[in-house]
């Protein structure tokens, strides 16, 4: 008998009617002969309310108590969904993190899952019982509730699917799959039927916020087949699978954009060993994550310009760090620009297919879009451009790589 | 070092500001050198919301899942209060029912506490740590969350005080103590300084809804000294203690009234053995609780009238049961009257002091109030009267028994 994990996010369980709708979806899988574990998030808005209360109470958080408060949201949904399933004749019971147990490392607020004991759950599967599991939560070695960090229910679901050796982990959300690019930017964006873990990772971390990056990495590590689909629409979604499950490979699978970037240029940096180490070491110490980096070749032999990108939210902190290094480094000037956007084309096919970057550069050049920074990985080419050209660039690249949906009529 | 349990109800923890206020009260006890365990209810309104959701989801309840949902309310408050205490420099941690554990019999929805393991909590007391305990919840032999029934947090607090051999269990609520009668009926009602368990039990079950009856019975059984006081006013409340702690005993301690009664008279009931058994047996089977009963002496030797009271909420059910017995019993008529009120005078002093009932009957007669049914216990006299005279009767009795506060000026 096949076994699946279904995961429903906050908007899918936002009220009692939606929870009943979820119960019907679960029943359909049960009626089709599946053994089912369902992982649920808190009802939409609940986690924010609980987090706000903890902030209103105390300036500093004890992460252990924070976990006690916020884990209550998933507990409520799990109980309600079990009731809704029973009401339509499905044998079901709820499981909280500490009951399973979902053993974690005990780093409160962002715990990592270490072991899931599925013995009893699997016995109950044999009796036809559906397991309704509170997502996002586990238990630490201190016998206290831990949470996995925001969006952690995706991770709960994938980890449970791995532990149960499930055939598939279906992540139900408010979109019906992963798209070749943001459908709000071009109506020609197409839903992707199958995508590799690597591509999904690049898209997730590049701004396509469908699946939590950490859950994709875990799915890849354990070979869990993940499907992203809508709980409101009745249609297959996007399967995230191993590369060898994808027969016909596109060169480029999708185009992501990330508008939350800022560019920093240090002008007139002394061109001597140890400078880059001092700069990026200090930024890392201040928890500023640096993404793209480019260093111009020194013209006169003793000074150069260094450009890199950080998240916009980190820009003030980065400036502060750099100003503190002013005396030590003796650079001339800091130039910061928050009006930039990173565009990435992603596809495992580019490993074997040359010319992907060339197409990107040509396409942008034809539209008169200046490329400020470039970075590449094995399956990705990213460029930094002025934010004003974001939509134009995404649409042009979508067409150039043959991703446009055929227009009917 | 002295040890106390403090319990805060829903209105005392209704929002983050009130939780901070509670933290200050706890801090004061800690600063005074007390070892403190705090039991908290859900934030006011939360439990009703959670219960409504379970009702909206399913027609029939699985009490195990109901418990999972509703127990979340106390969990949130416990975490928030621990954070609030830490924020003002008090060492504190939250404890959930399953963590302590608060072992119950596993009757979900209305579990009874069997054992509380306070070993670790007492170790933490030695380190100066305050225990913040989620009320209303425990764990069953099935390793699942149980709840103690509505108002169960009072019972949690008293049980914990017994297990910890605490000097006192302070129940903070939205009134500042137990009064000689309802202050909304007479402004001359006085706060009672000390009251015995037995009196409190009679007052609680007779309509003075300050403390849950079950928690008072448990306090009496284990000799836990309970104090009822306000979390909003800074003044001593009412101490509920053993009789020998009360030096100067009043004959009558308080006057309770219960407007939620209905009177049922069966007219022309055959006067033969087994009739009362058939009637009250059938009512008990239908879970209708019968309170006062009076049977007139049969005048002509073959038929009599039988009068009793039930809760107004049970009146329809009682009528239905009695109509079903019509053929079997052959009574003439059912007369029901929901316009009645039960007035009770309560006091352990009446054991040794005769004339209490006489004063009651005389006082009511002087006001022209007809007594419909009378029942007595060792420390209580109750009468059923027309509901129209409720306020008049309570005020007159309050004066007659010398309970009126002295009017200043």
Nearest by CB to A68, from B16, B87, B94: name it. B94
- Tell me whether A54 touches chain B (CB under 8 Å): yes
Decide if A26 touches B, using CB distance below 8 A: no
B193-224 b/e (C-beta count within 10 Å ≥ 16 → b): ebbbbbbbbbbbbbbbebbbbbbbbbbbeeeb
C-beta atoms of B75 and A68 within 8 A:
yes
Give pLDDT, residue B61.
78
Chain A nearest C-alpha distance from B160 (Å): 20
Could you give the percent of chain B with pLDDT greater than 70? Answer: 98
For B71, residues 6+ apart whose C-beta sits below 8 A from its C-beta are A75, B97, B134, B136, B137, B145, B147
| Stretch A3-28: mean pLDDT | 96
CA atoms within a 13 Å half-sphere pointing along the CA-CB vector of B284: 7
pLDDT at B150 over 80: no
Residue range B323-348, pLDDT digits in tens: 999 888 888 899 999 999 999 999 99
Test A80 with B19 for CB contact under 8 angstroms: no
Tokens of A344: 């990435």
B3-174 CATH, one of 3.90.1170.50, 3.20.20.210, 3.20.20.150, 3.40.1160.10: 3.40.1160.10
pLDDT above 90 for A174 = no
As a whole number, the mean pLDDT across chain B is: 92
pLDDT exceeds 80 at position A206: no
Q: Inspect the interface and report whether the beta carbons of A72 and B75 lie closer than 8 Å.
A: yes
Q: Is the pLDDT of residue B205 over 80?
A: no
Q: Hey, what CATH class is B245-409 in?
A: alpha beta
> Best mutation site among A17, A40, A47, A53 for testing chain B: the one with the most B CBs within 10 Å?
A53
Q: Which residues from B are below 8 Å from A90, CB to CB? A: none
Q: Which of A18-27, A274-283, A328-337 has the highest mean pLDDT?
A: A18-27
Residue window 228-247, chain B: list those with CB within 8 Å of chain A.
none
For every residue of B322-369, DSSP letters joined together read HHHTHHHH--SEEEEEEEEEEEEEE-GGGGT-TTHHHHHHHHHHHTTP
Of the candidates B58, B64, B75, which has its C-beta nearest A84's C-beta? Answer: B58
Confidence of residue A354 (pLDDT cuts 50, 70, 90): confident
Interface membership of A404 toward B (CB under 8 Å): no
pLDDT tens, position by position, A369-386: 999 999 988 899 999 999
CA distance A226 to chain B (A): 29
- pLDDT, tens digit, 9 for 90 and up, residues B51-64: 999 999 988 779 99
**Alpha-carbon span A221 to B20, nearest angstrom:** 45
Residue B299 above 70 pLDDT?
Answer: no
- The pLDDT, as a whole number, for residue B186 is 92
CA distance B366 to B377: 24
**Pairwise CA distance, residues A167 & B105, whole Å:** 39
B26: confidence class by pLDDT, cuts 50, 70, 90: very high
pLDDT of B230 over the 60 cut: yes
Question: Is B144 part of the contact surface with chain A (CB cutoff 8 Å)?
Answer: yes
According to CATH, where is 3.40.1160.10 located in chain B? 3-174
Which residues touch B87 (CB under 8 Å, ≥6 apart)?
A57, A58, A59, A60, B20, B23
Q: Within its chain, how far is the Cα of B53 from the centroid?
A: 26
CB pairs under 8 A between A and B: 117
Nearest to A98 by CA among A117, A79, A73: A117
What is the per-residue pLDDT for A65? 96
Please give, rounded to a whole number of angstroms, the shortest distance from the CA of A75 to a CA of chain B: 7
Return the axis-axis angle of helices A72-87 and A63-70, rounded to nearest 10°: 20
The reported pLDDT for the residue numbered B149 is 81
A151 versus B305: the higher-pLDDT residue is B305
Instruction: For residue A168, give how far its alpha carbon lies from the nearest alpha carbon of chain B (Å).
Output: 27
d(CA A228, CA A236): 8
ipTM value:
0.84
Give the pLDDT score at A295.
Answer: 82
Contact between residue B155 and residue B212 where contact means Cβ atoms under 8 Å apart: yes
| Rounded mean pLDDT, B166-175 | 94
Of the candidates A44, A140, A400, A40, the one whose C-alpha atom is nearest the C-alpha of residue A252 is A400
In Å, how far is A172's CA from the nearest CA of chain B? 20
**Is the full-model pTM beyond 0.90?**
no
Residue B98: closest C-alpha in chain A: A98
Q: Which residue of B has its CA nearest to A76?
A: B69
Q: Measured between CB atoms, does A36 come within 8 Å of chain B?
A: no
Task: Name the H helices within A103-193.
Answer: 119-126, 152-163
Q: In the prediction, which pLDDT does B213 show? A: 86
- Say yes or no: B51 contacts chain A, CB-CB below 8 A: no
Contact B83 A50 (CB under 8 A): no
Q: Does B61 touch chain A (CB under 8 A)?
A: yes
Interval A257-292: pLDDT, tens: 999 899 999 998 988 888 888 999 999 999 899 999
Q: Mean of the pLDDT values across residues B360-374? A: 95
B57:A93 CB<8 A: no
CB contact under 8 A, A86 and B62: yes
């Amino acid at each position: 008998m096949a076994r699946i994990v279904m995961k429903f996010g906050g908007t899918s369980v936002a009220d009692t009617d939606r929870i009943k709708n979820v119960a019907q979806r679960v029943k359909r899988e049960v009626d089709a002969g599946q053994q089912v574990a369902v992982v649920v998030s808190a009802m939409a808005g609940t986690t924010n309310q609980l987090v706000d209360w903890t902030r209103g109470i105390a300036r500093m958080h004890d992460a252990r108590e924070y976990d006690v408060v916020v884990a209550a949201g998933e507990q409520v949904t799990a109980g309600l969904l079990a009731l809704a399933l029973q009401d339509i004749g499905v044998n079901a019971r709820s499981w909280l993190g500490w009951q399973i147990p979902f053993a974690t490392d005990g780093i409160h607020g962002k715990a990592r899952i270490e072991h899931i004991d599925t013995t009893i759950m699997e016995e109950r599967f044999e009796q036809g019982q559906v397991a309704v599991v509170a997502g996002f939560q586990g238990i630490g070695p201190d016998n206290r509730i831990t949470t996995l960090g925001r969006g952690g229910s995706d991770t709960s679901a994938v980890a449970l699917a791995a532990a149960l050796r499930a055939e598939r982990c279906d992540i139900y959300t408010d979109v019906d799959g992963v798209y070749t690019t943001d459908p709000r930017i071009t109506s020609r964006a197409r839903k992707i039927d199958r995508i590799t873990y690597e591509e999904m990772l690049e898209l997730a971390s590049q701004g396509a916020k469908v699946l939590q990056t950490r859950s994709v990495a875990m799915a890849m590590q354990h070979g869990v087949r993940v499907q992203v689909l809508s709980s409101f629409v009745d249609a297959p979604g996007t399967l995230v699978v191993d590369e060898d499950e994808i027969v016909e490979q596109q060169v480029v699978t999708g185009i992501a954009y990330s508008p939350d970037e800022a560019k920093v240029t240090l002008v007139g940096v002394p061109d001597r060993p140890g400078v880059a180490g001092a700069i990026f070491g200090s930024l890392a110490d201040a928890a500023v994550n640096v993404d793209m980096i480019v260093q111009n070749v020194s013209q006169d032999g003793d000074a150069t310009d260094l450009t890199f990108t950080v998240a916009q939210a980190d820009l003030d902190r980065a400036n502060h760090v750099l100003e503190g290094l002013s005396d030590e480094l003796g650079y001339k000037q800091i130039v910061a620009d928050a009006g930039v956007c990173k565009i990435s084309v992603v596809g495992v096919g580019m490993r074997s297919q040359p010319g992907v970057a060339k197409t990107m550069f040509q396409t942008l050049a034809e539209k008169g879009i200046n490329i400020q920074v470039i970075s590449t990985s094995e399956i990705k080419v990213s460029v930094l451009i002025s934010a004003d050209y974001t939509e134009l660039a995404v649409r042009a690249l979508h067409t150039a790589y043959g991703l446009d949906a055929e227009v009917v009529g």
